[in-house]
Amino acid sequence: LPKPDASLQAREYVAPQSPLEQQVAAAWSEVLEVEQISLNDNFFELGGHSLLILMLRDRIKKITGVDLSVSQLMLHPTVRGQVGCIQGQEQGSLLVRLNAQSQGTPLFLFHPSFGSVHCYRAIALALREQRPVIGVICRALLDAEHRVPSWTDMVDDYVGQLLVAYPQGNYRLAGWSLGGNLAMEVAYRLERAGRHVESVDWIDAPPPAHVEDFWKEDLVAEPQVFSTQQRQAEMLAVMFPEFAEQIGAQWQAAVNEVSDEVKAWQQLDAWAAEHVGSAYAAIREQLLDVREAQVSWEIKQDLDLRLQGADYQAIQAPVNCWWAAQGNGGQHRDLIEASMAQVIGQDGIRSSTVIDTTHDRIIDNPQFISLFVASMK
C-alpha cells in the first residue's frame, strides 16, 4: 500500500482555534509526525493505527487530564471530534469513518469478534480515492457495563444505524470472520426495508452453527486459555510487529527460566523498555491495565457465543467469498459455500477467491487488499 502522505491529499486546511483544539492537534502532530493538522483530518488517513491510537490516548491524557477510551478515539477520528469528546459532546453512533472520502457508494465493514474495526485500516487506505469506508463497532465497547447484545439486537441496531446515517443511496457491506455473518444479516434487513445492497463480501467467515460438519470437535480446536501475562506478551508482539519474533523468543526464554509467568513478564517488560524504546513507554501503562484487558477478552468470548445465533439469509445482493488457504474456513470452503448456496442459490455466490495466508493475516494481506480493491471498482 502507498504510505499515507498528508502532503499528497487535497485537504481543506481548517486551523485549530481554541487552546484545547491546538493542544489536541499538537498531540496528533507529535504522534503521527505530521507537521500541519487540520481540525477535520482523519486520523487513519494520516497513518494512524492501533499502536498510535494508544500513544495518542496517552498524550491527550497528559495534556488535558481526560482519559478518553480507545473506542472514543476511533469513533471520533478528527481533532474536532476528539475535542468534542473531551468536552462531553458525544453521539451514540457506532460508525467509524476509516477514510475521509465522501463520494461513491459507502462500504460498511462490520467488526469481528473483538468488537473493534482498526483491523480494516489497510482496506480503508487502499479505497480512500474510490469510496467512503465506514467501520461498525460493537456497542459493548461503549456500554459502561460492557454488555454484548443478543445477535438479533446487534443486527437490528446496526441496520438502524445505517438507515439513520445514510437514509438515501445504496450500500456495500463486508466483514471479516464474525463480521461476515453480520454483513449478510444486515444486508437481508436492509433489503427488506426497501434499500439496495450492491454486494456483500464474506471474508473468511465461519458458517452458522447448523453446519455441523464444520463445527464438529475434530475440525475446530477448543479455544486456548491464556494467562493475563501471556495475553500481554501476545499484545506486545501485535503492537510492535517489527519486534514480534524477538518478543516471542524473549517471552519463551523467560518462562523457561523462571517457570512463573508474573516474573517472566517482569523480565520481558524490562527487555521491552530497553529495546523497543519510547513508543513502548507511552503504552506500557495501558498494556498493563489488567481490567481493560479482561474486558476486551470477555467481550470477545461473548461475541463468539453470540455467533451461535447467526444464519444465512436469502439476500438478493451477490456475495463475494474470500478465503484464507491456511485457515479452517479456507480448508473447508466447498462445504461452507455449498451450505450458503442452499439458501441464496448457487448464482448468488458471484466469486470465490483463495489467498495463501492465515485467517488472522488475511485482512491486511497485500494480495487480498489488491484483489479486494479491484473488485470494488
What pLDDT score was predicted for residue 355? 97
Q: How many C-beta atoms lie closer than 10 Å to residue 242's C-beta?
A: 8
Per-residue pLDDT tens digits of the chain, which is 377 residues long: 555 554 445 567 888 889 999 999 999 998 888 888 998 888 888 878 777 888 888 889 888 888 888 878 888 888 988 898 888 776 678 998 898 888 999 999 999 998 989 889 899 989 988 999 999 999 998 877 889 999 999 999 999 999 999 999 999 999 999 999 999 999 999 999 999 999 999 999 999 999 998 998 544 445 556 677 887 888 788 778 788 889 999 999 999 998 888 899 899 999 998 998 877 887 787 666 656 667 777 888 999 999 999 999 999 999 999 999 999 999 999 999 999 999 999 999 999 999 999 998 899 899 999 999 999 98
Q: What is the pLDDT of residue 51?
A: 74
What is the 3 state secondary structure string of the chain? CCCCCHHHCCCCCCCCCCHHHHHHHHHHHHHHCCCCCCCCCCCCCCCCCHHHHHHHHHHHHHHHCCCCCHHHHHHCCCHHHHHHHHCCCCCCCCEEECCCCCCCCCEEEECCCCCCCHHHHHHHHHCCCCCCEEEECCHHHCCCCCCCCCHHHHHHHHHHHHHHHCCCCCEEEEEECHHHHHHHHHHHHHHHCCCCEEEEEEECCCCCCCCHHHHCCCCCCCCCCCCHHHHHHHHHHHHCHHHHHHHHHHHHHHHHHHCCHHHHHHHHHHHHHHHCCHHHHHHHHHHCCHHHHHHHHHHHHHHHHHHHHCCCCCCCCCEEEEEECCCHHHHCHHHHHHHHHHHHCHHHEEEEEEECCCCCCHHHCHHHHHHHHHHHC
User: What is the model's pLDDT at position 321?
Assistant: 98
pLDDT of residue 172: 98
Which residue, chain included where needed, has cell 495534556? 63
pTM for the model stands at 0.80
Distances (CA, A) of 201 to 28, 55, 183, 205, 312: 33, 32, 8, 10, 13
Residue 164 CB neighbours (<10 A): 10
- Look at the block and give the residue holding cell 465497547: 141
Query: Which pLDDT score is estimated for 3?
Result: 54
Burial class of residue 304, CB neighbours in 10 A (0-12, 13-18, 19+):
middle
Q: What's domain 1-91's architecture?
A: Orthogonal Bundle (1.10)
